[in-house]
Structure formats: structure tokens, C-alpha cells
A and B are shown apart, each in its own frame.
Chain A
Amino acid sequence: MKNKIKVFRAMHDMTQEDLAQAIGVTRQTILAIEKGKYVPSLDLAFKIARYFNVNIEEVFTYEPGVQAVHID
């Protein structure tokens, strides 16, 4: 699962801390998502997309065949 959170953050001139506070998670979680270390839940993914006023597909891209790092 790839994402463009970093791009959207840059477009909105936001730090990881700003985004984390806005959606109610820790900065480490934003960092882990950006680095691909953690795949967020649908709920959190929608929150991030809604925050940037875009569709979820614009922020997150599913790549078949790529091993997703997910806690389950």
C-alpha cells in the first residue's frame, strides 16, 4: 500500500505533528504510515483523505503483489 500523505502535507504546508493532532493520532503513526511501516485502518485512511478533501484513492494506492506491512 503506497500513499501520498507526504505530498499532501507539503501541499497544505503541514508538519506531521499538525496532521497527527488534526486527526487524533500520534506523530509516530503518521511517520509510520508515510514510511509504509504501518497500513492504517479504513477508518483512519478515510479520516486522512477527508482532512485533505480528496478521495481515499488519491491518497492511498493499493499495489497487488506488494507485501503490505500490516499488524494483524
Chain B
Amino acid sequence: MKKNTFYLLGGCIALVLLTLFWYSVEINSPLLIEIAFVLGIILVYILRRRVTDLIEDERSRKITEKAALRTFQVFWVIFCAFSIGAVMQILRVPTFPRQREPMRPPTEIFPPEIMPPKIMGYVQLWLLCLMIFLYVGFRFYYARKYGDWEIDEE
């Protein structure tokens, strides 16, 4: 398979996934897009192995490894910081009534302060975007550092 065909098929898979994502939101079923996403990525990996004119040598592999390692080194710290916060939400024991809100009537019962799923979703989205940006940024940085955009003297 040619490189361009692979990119074209990759674009088609992305479009299908986007449509399924929209449909999943419409029918309120996250399982559909979750399964489709995993299958889509597996399909992309299979297609990539069939590309014949895509040369991946030791330098490009090293750049990818280096970018992935640096992304991991930065991302796990941020991810753990968020996760620790989330774990604290689980371990928190609610107190009734809250002492910091003395103006409320004592008979009113407040639910424990758990991070709402919507906020969790936003944070996850932010983390996902951060990971992608970090990887792309590091990829560009190391590609440039190790001569991807050197001027040819030939």
C-alpha cells in the first residue's frame, strides 16, 4: 500500500469515528464510541504495517522514542497530581452540617462534595489535549534538533 493511500484511509477512519462520536452523544451511549475508537486504532495499526513506501529508520525511531519518553515524563506528573485530587474526593468523609456555612439552617442536608462527572469529563479532555500537544511539541523539537529541517547543500 502506498503512503498516500494510508493517509487517505486514516482520514476516512477519523471521519467515521467523528460521526460515531456525534451519534454516541445523540443516543447517550459512550460504549459505542469507546469500542469504535479501539477498533479504529487497531485498524490504523494494521494498515500502517502494510505501507510499503514509508521508511522508518533508526533516527526517526529514536526521535519518536525520545518524544514519547519526554511526554510521559511530563504527563505522568500532571496526571498523578489530578488523580491524587480525585482520590481525595473518594476518601473524603462528609460532615453535616458544614461548619464553613453557618448561615444555612441546620436541618438542611447537603450531599457530599464529589467532583461532578461533567467536570471530570472536562478535566479528562484537557489532559488528553495536553498529552497530544506535549507529544507533538516534543516531536517537533527533537526532529528539529536532530536535523529534520536541515538545509540541503546538494
A28, B86: Cα distance in complex, Å: 45
Given A16-B154, A71-B66, answer yes or no on A37-B146 (Cβ-Cβ < 8 Å): yes
Task: Tell me whether A8 is interfacial, beta carbon within 8 Å.
Answer: no
Interface size class of A (residues with CB under 8 A): 10 to 19
- CB-CB under 8 A from B101, the residues of chain A are none
B 38-75 to A, binary, CB cutoff 8 A, 1 in contact else 0: 00000000000000000101111011001000000000
Q: Are B154 and A15 in contact (CB under 8 A)?
A: yes
Q: Is the interface of A mostly helix, strand, loop or mixed?
A: loop
Residue of B nearest to A6 (CB): B153
What mask results when residues 23 to 48 of chain A are scored 1 for a CB within 8 Å of chain B, else 0?
Answer: 01110110110010110110110000
How many of B's residues come within 8 Å of A, CB to CB?
16
Closest chain A CB from B86 CB (angstroms):
35
B152 on the interface (CB 8 Å rule)? Answer: yes
A69 contacts partner chain B, Cβ-Cβ < 8 Å: yes
Closest to B66 in A: A71
Determine if B59 and A32 form an interchain contact, defined as CB atoms under 8 angstroms apart.
yes
Asked whether B152 lies within 8 Å of A16 as measured between CB atoms, the reply is yes
B113 within 8 A of A: no
Expressed in whole angstroms, the Cα–Cα distance for A42 and B145 within the complex equals 21
Q: B106 at the A/B interface (Cβ < 8 Å)?
A: no
Give Cα distance in the complex from A26 to B55, angstroms. 6
Question: Do residues B154 and A32 form an inter-chain contact, with CB atoms below 8 A?
Answer: no
Known: A31-B147, A69-B146, A71-B146. A38 touches B59 (CB 8 A): yes
CB-defined A-B contacts under 8 Å, sample of 8: A26-B55, A29-B57, A31-B152, A44-B57, A44-B58, A69-B145, A69-B146, A71-B63
Taking beta carbons and an 8 Å cutoff, which residues of B are in contact with A? 55, 57-60, 62-63, 66, 142, 145-148, 150, 152, 154
